[in-house]
Structure 1
Amino acid sequence: MNTTFAPPVAALGDDARAAFLVRTYTHLLGAILLFAGIEIFFFTSGLAIPMAQAMLGVNWLLVLGGFVIVSWFASSAAVRAESKAAQYAALGAFVLAEAIIFVPLLVLAAINVGPSVIGAAAWTTLIGFSVLTAIVFFTGKDFSFLGGLVKWGMGLALVAIVVGVLTGFNLGTWFSVAMIGLAGAAILYDTSKVLNEYPEDRYVAAALTLFASVALMFWYVLRLFMSRR
Structure 2
Amino acid sequence: MPTSSNAAALDHTPVIELDVSARATFIWRTYLHVVAAILGFAALEVALFSTGLAAPIAESMLGTSWLLVLGGFILVGWMARGAAHRAESTALQYLALAGFVVAQALIFVPLLYVAQAQAGGGVIESAAYVTLMGFAGLTAIAFYTRKDFSFLQPFLMWGGVVALVLIAAGTLFGFQLGTFFSVAMVAFAGAAILYDTSNIIHHYPEDRYVAAALELFASVALMFWYILSLFLSGE
* Aligned counterparts of 2:87 and 2:49: Cα–Cα separation in 1: 32
* Aligned counterparts of 1:25 and 1:113: Cα–Cα separation in 2: 32
Q: Report matched runs for 1:160-171 at 5 Å.
A: 160-171=166-177
Answer yes or no: is 1:67 the counterpart of 2:103: no
Cα deviations by residue, 1:30-73 (Å, 9 ceiling, x for unpaired): 00000000000000000000000011111111001100111233
Quick one: which of 47, 50, 53 aligns to 1:44? 50
Q: Report matched runs for 1:3-14 at 5 Å.
A: 5-14=11-20
**Secondary structure, counterpart of 1:82 in structure 2:** coil
Q: Report matched runs for 1:193-208 at 5 Å.
A: 193-208=199-214
Please say if residues 9 and 207 of structure 2, whose CA atoms lie closer than 8 Å, have aligned partners that are also in contact.
Answer: no
Long gaps (5+) in structure 2: 1-7
Please say if residues 138 and 194 of structure 2, whose CA atoms lie closer than 8 Å, have aligned partners that are also in contact.
Answer: yes
**Secondary structure, counterpart of 1:16 in structure 2:** helix
* Aligned counterparts of 1:143 and 1:165: Cα–Cα separation in 2: 33
Alignment match, 1:136:
142
Please say if residues 9 and 206 of structure 2, whose CA atoms lie closer than 8 Å, have aligned partners that are also in contact.
Answer: no
Please say if residues 146 and 185 of structure 1, whose CA atoms lie closer than 8 Å, have aligned partners that are also in contact.
Answer: yes
Cα deviations by residue, 1:17-42 (Å, 9 ceiling, x for unpaired): 00110110001000000000000000
Q: Report matched runs for 1:1-229 at 5 Å.
A: 5-229=11-235
Identity %: 59
TM-score by length of 2: 0.95
* Aligned counterparts of 2:200 and 2:80: Cα–Cα separation in 1: 14
**Secondary structure, counterpart of 2:75 in structure 1:** helix
* Aligned counterparts of 1:3 and 1:152: Cα–Cα separation in 2: 30
* Aligned counterparts of 2:171 and 2:208: Cα–Cα separation in 1: 38
RMSD over aligned Cα atoms: 1.2
Shift of 1:3: 6.7
Please say if residues 14 and 202 of structure 2, whose CA atoms lie closer than 8 Å, have aligned partners that are also in contact.
Answer: yes
Please say if residues 72 and 154 of structure 1, whose CA atoms lie closer than 8 Å, have aligned partners that are also in contact.
Answer: no
Q: How many residues end up aligned between the 2 structures?
A: 228
Query: Which amino acid is the alignment partner of residue 19 of structure 1?
Result: T
* Aligned counterparts of 2:61 and 2:115: Cα–Cα separation in 1: 15
Greater CA deviation, 72-81 or 59-68?
Answer: 72-81
Shift of 1:196: 1.2
User: Quick one: structure 1 residues 3 and 143, their matched pair in 2 at CA, closer, same or farther if it must change by over 3 Å?
Assistant: farther
Long gaps (5+) in structure 1: none
* Aligned counterparts of 1:73 and 1:137: Cα–Cα separation in 2: 28
